[in-house]
A = this chain, B = another copy of it.
């Protein structure tokens, strides 16, 4: 099966309490695609970058067998750049700068054969763009949308339109409460599902994740990390690992999604161990299976 990933591609300048890095590869489409590439050889990525993107980054994506024919490289423009500082507990980041550059005019055009992808992952970008992608798709079997508090805040109506049209929404716990205007997480989750999606994943960071659907709930543990080096991209890596696994097994049901949540958690746990995409590059299938089995073991009774 093929998986289409649409989202941002960016250069991230990140400062954590431990270290800092300048202009490293980032963006939702990047993390999602690399994470999903461990499960499917048919991952297609649609996004936009400037002429400064660099051969090294192109090569890394190609090494992961990601089809980047839908990655628009615009001459004379610069790649979207984002800078932030994480506070001591790593749960809050303060934005230092957002240079949209080429991303400002991003108008996702899905190349012909990609429009019929059965699996679609809408990485975290402006909901209006996610809607444009949905409008172009012809045969989507299972679609996932990731989002963030900013869009709940400033483009709620568009976001609600997206949510109504996707199969699964992935969101973090504070965002779920914000979207539903409800303090209790379980009540909030039910209210969000009434907005449209058949399935919902609530990410809880260091407390794991919850999957809702088919009238059931699955509680996934968090990996017991002693050091979070850089949380940037963890949510995207989660979504990518989740969707990669589902694309691979080509099954759309709660049991398959439980495993997919643990594969997503696996990729997210690797992601936070290093800056940029370094934590999820060049992993072996054995490393991924071993970490997945650790996740299973963590909650096995």
Task: Kindly state whether residue A83 has any CB partner on chain B within 8 Å.
Answer: no
**A301: CB under 8 A from chain B?**
yes
Interface string of A241-276 (1 = CB under 8 A from B): 000000000000000001100100000000000000
Q: Are B187 and A221 in contact (CB under 8 A)?
A: no
Of the candidate stretches A56-64, A113-121, A127-135, A178-186, the one touching chain B is A178-186
**Closest CB of chain B to A187's CB: distance in Å?**
5
Whether A262 pairs with B301 at a CB distance below 8 angstroms is yes
How far does the alpha carbon of A184 sit from the alpha carbon of B231 in the complex, in Å? 14
Chain B residue numbers with a CB within 8 Å of A186 are 224-226
Hey, which bits of chain A sit against chain B, CB under 8 A?
88-89, 183-187, 190, 204, 206-208, 210, 217-222, 224-228, 258-259, 262, 296, 298-301
Complexed CA–CA distance, A183 and B183 (Å): 25
State whether A298 and B204 are in contact (beta carbons under 8 Å apart), knowing that A184-B226, A186-B224 are contacts in the complex: no
Partner of A299, one of B187, B204, B220, B227: B220
The verdict on A226 contacting B187 (CB below 8 Å), with A204-B207, A207-B207 known, is: yes
Q: Is the CB of B183 within 8 A of A88?
A: yes
10 additional A-B pairs beyond A186-B224, A218-B299, A219-B222, beta carbons within 8 Å, are A89-B183, A184-B228, A207-B208, A217-B224, A219-B224, A221-B299, A259-B301, A299-B299, A299-B301, A300-B301
For A217, the closest partner residue in chain B by CB is: B224
Q: Which residues of B contact A183 (CB under 8 A)?
A: 88-89
Q: Which residues of B contact A226 (CB under 8 A)?
A: 184, 186-187, 190
Q: Can you identify 15 A-B contacts, CB atoms within 8 angstroms?
A: A88-B183, A89-B183, A184-B225, A184-B226, A185-B206, A186-B226, A190-B226, A204-B207, A208-B219, A217-B298, A219-B298, A221-B221, A221-B299, A299-B299, A300-B301
Give the 5 A-B CB pairs with smallest separation, nearest first: A219-B221, A299-B299, A207-B207, A186-B224, A219-B298
Chain B residues closer than 8 Å to A187, beta-carbon distance: 226
Q: Which residues of B contact A217 (CB under 8 A)?
A: 224, 298
What are the residues of chain B within 8 A of A301 when measuring CB–CB?
A: 258-259, 262, 296, 299-300
